[in-house]
Amino acid sequence: MSNPDELLVAISAAVESERSNQMALTVVVGGAVITGRLAPEAVWRERVAEVLKDSDRLGAFSDIFARGSRTKSSGRSEAPTHLHFHLARILQGSLGIPETGGMYRVAIKDVSAWTVGDISYSDQ
């Protein structure tokens, strides 16, 4: 989308303000389907920083993610520009990659379609 979907921005802002990680969402970005739960940016950054910090090869990148999110000079938060997924999977056929879920950051302006809820597959 060239203009971010206002409803999607509002959902993201609500997740940010409530500090909740229970909002399940599925989006289509560049033809890929990503499904999972949204997290506030600060929580998402903290979790990515923790994972990187424990890595021998990637530990140096941990501080980049540990830094705070952007705020306006007035101290108020800007409207969200990205969705921060955790426990998320990229759906490919009948598989979710990775199986256990991953951490994804998606630009709201790049979302071409979305729905509330986490899509999962069943072999039954």
| 54-108 pLDDT per residue, tens | 899 999 899 999 876 554 445 556 899 999 999 899 998 777 888 888 999 999 9
Mean pLDDT taken over the chain: 86
Taking 70 as the threshold, does the pLDDT of residue 2 lie above it? no
pLDDT above 90 covers a percentage of the chain that reads 63
Top mean-pLDDT range of 9-13, 76-80, 95-99, 115-119? 9-13
**Residue 1's pLDDT is what?**
43
Q: In whole angstroms, what is the distance from residue 105 CA to residue 107 CA?
A: 7
Q: In whole angstroms, what is the distance from residue 95 CA to residue 110 CA?
A: 23
90 and 97 in contact (C-beta within 8 Å)?
yes
